[in-house]
Chains A and B, each alone.
Chain A
């Protein structure tokens, strides 16, 4: 019996040695190339948490990433601007990144792009996974660690145990970006979508039923506003153009919360000026042409705001659509 236990012990040790050596080796390699990436979606987070120094920052999901031509804003106001949007991420991700970022520097202006269905339960569940997936490589950053732990402490535990775990699912893309198989051309964080997949004229999809909202997402949205206010960061909330209005409940709440907090809200989701399907790549994303028109619109809007023009020298944009909000 003693011999059996001894053999079992030796065998287990050998196994653990192989497992942890392989995990460490692969994990360190992935970590090294991950933090060296220079473009693509992963770089959006790397830039946000390790390099961002810009005065104007744009937060949000893929709709932020593909809708705001940060270089246009930068050229117009002569102020460094960066688009930090990332696909599939919601307010949970934006909040975690914003709170970490504030511990190193304070941007002057933040544009937060939210979705018409920002607070839906489904968005909440998917947003949690998306936030954790994107931020696990940064688990040693205090605010990131705090935000992940709040949702799932076990993720931090597993990431500490296994070096490969934070890169779960992302390996092919990390290698692709590193070795140049994938190359998303980014301009200050803006990644263009070319062409359009919509063949018909945009039809607004109105769903009358109220989708139940996730109170946690509402709380985090309020938290984002409070964080901006506490750090004297000028915040603008924007619902950028879409062909779909899936959850009127979220829009109503976004309006209510921003009004209460006295934060400007620009809602482009209901405006007829963006009904032109040629401006869209798909149902929820503008294409490059749409992004140019929309960014010009935003620039024009900001130029006319007293608070904003006091901070930055603004000049009106002549080719804007002249949208009245």
Chain B
């Protein structure tokens, strides 16, 4: 079930109403059942995979808590191995088989590794990582093992964030499932407002940009440098609106029922460095990698060369997390290189303490430069193969001649309208917090006019064919 479908709207109204009308003691059952239904609308059978990891991690949590010493660690390893194993089979097996077959072929062997004919369970990487954070936190003693199987299942399966995050931590969410959430008008309004803004970003901006991006990227060899640049910039905005739109709807859906999920995006394209970008983009994943991989590897409390290696490993794995394709690995590696270059640049700048980049122009330049680097890396993320990505990069840098492809003029017009609305809103939120706000305006009439205006804009200009969210595939 997609968030941007009528099916979800009806589901949301029914579940939220039933939730508030039910006694507190039964609410977890309603949420769990509805989450099962939500997940099963994709591929029903795959709930068994989810069930498998839930059972393993539930018992692993209890056993870790009860045990001491090496045994404790063994249970953690067992839990992580089960989760990573599921990921390896369903997400990475065919990729590994493909590369092994290529290597065998290159070495002169005629045999190839057989493929598995399986579909990737939707949101697998998200709920697997969320499940792993639970057993790790129990192992670290930061979280008590959950004894209630239903509540633990709900922690993994809570439908707003089940298929595309945010990747929650047990300390933030588990206790919320036990608390009583009375109907709170402010929460309902705040949640619906977030959902509306999320829908707007998805169907008005992301899906509109997708029309142009797909036209250019699906025939990238036929397009000029200028069209490829515009498509790449559009894709950077598309993926942001697609994913942050999903996160907003997830946060809003949970908020209506009184649950507070972690913030996943904080105006990432206004970042002034790559480091800053990663503190604003997919925050739940970047903090996951920081807490559970980067710091255990030694973090930055090691020699510089080791730290660089740690950063590189983390970003390569982050790339691989997104998908079983070399394009994602190159995308991750590029961000690793950016980070290392950024650290070295900062170290270099420390030698010139009097040199300061402050004021509007230097800040705007830094923001634009950061965006350019990020957008460049997205080329690899969007391209269907590394070869195609290099062809696009080559066409851009050798300035392949040709006119700017417009496609549908009206589509371009709507896309530019959407981008303008996004950036005006984000700039206002970033630099003038609390001022010039329409959605949170203190006058009720202005707020209502804004809500109605957004809905009318969605109805008139949104792409309403229920297209899938990009991050669902991860």
Contact = CB atoms under 8 A, between A and B. Distances in A.
Contact of B460 (A14, A154, A168): A168
Contacts of B453: 22
B456 A22 contact: yes
Contacts of B463: 169
Given A15-B452, A172-B413, A7 B185 contact: yes
B456 A164 contact: yes
A226 B267 CA distance: 58
Contacts of A31: none
Interface in B373-418: 409-410, 413-414
A8 B464 CA distance: 29
Given A19-B452, A154-B6, A172-B413, A8 B462 contact: no
Contact of B456 (A7, A23, A158, A172): A23
A26 interface: yes
Given A18-B452, A22-B452, A129-B465, A172 B410 contact: yes
Contact of A4 (B185, B414, B465): B185
Contacts of A22: 452-453, 456
Interface string A15-46: 10011001100100000000000000000000
B451 A19 contact: yes
Mostly, the B contact residues are: helix
A173 interface: yes
A18 B6 contact: no
Mostly, the A contact residues are: helix
Contacts of B409: 172
A266 B455 CA distance: 48
B444 interface: yes
Interface string B427-467: 00000000000000000110011011101100111111100
B376 to A, nearest CB: 31
A164 B459 contact: yes
Contact of B461 (A8, A169, A176): A169
B461 A14 contact: no
Given A4-B185, A7-B185, A173-B410, A18 B460 contact: no
B461 A23 contact: no
B465 A23 contact: no
A171 interface: yes
Contacts of B456: 19, 22-23, 26, 164
A164 B449 contact: no
A167 interface: yes
Contacts of B445: 14
Given A7-B185, A15-B448, A158-B6, A23 B410 contact: no
B106 to A, nearest CB: 27
A11 B192 CA distance: 13
A168 B185 contact: no
A170 B6 CA distance: 21
Interface residues of A, number: 26
B21 to A, nearest CB: 14
A165 B185 contact: no
A11 B445 CA distance: 9
A162 interface: yes
A158 B463 CA distance: 14
A170 B459 CA distance: 11
Nearest to A18: B452
B460 A164 contact: yes
Nearest to A19: B452
Q: Which of B460, B462, B463 has the most CB of A within 10 A?
A: B460
Given A4-B185, A18-B449, A26 B460 contact: yes
A172 B452 CA distance: 20
Contacts of B414: 169, 172
Given A19-B451, A158-B6, A168-B461, A14 B444 contact: yes
Q: Which of B6, B413, B463 has the most CB of A within 10 A?
A: B6
Nearest to B411: A169
Q: Which of B185, B449, B452, B453 has the most CB of A within 10 A?
A: B452
Interface string B311-350: 0000000000000000000000000000000000000000
Nearest to B455: A19
Contacts of A19: 451-452, 455-456
Given A164-B456, A168-B459, A11 B464 contact: no
A161 B462 CA distance: 16
Contact of B459 (A8, A23, A129): A23
A154 B449 CA distance: 26
B451 A15 contact: yes
A35 to B, nearest CB: 18
A157 B410 CA distance: 26
A19 B454 CA distance: 10
Interface string B181-196: 0000100100000000
Interface string B259-294: 000000000000000000000000000000000000
A15 B463 CA distance: 24
Nearest to B463: A169
8 contacts: A19-B456, A22-B452, A158-B6, A164-B456, A164-B460, A169-B414, A171-B460, A171-B461
Q: Lowest 8 A-B CB distances belong to which pairs? A: A172-B410, A19-B452, A18-B452, A15-B448, A154-B6, A164-B459, A8-B185, A18-B448
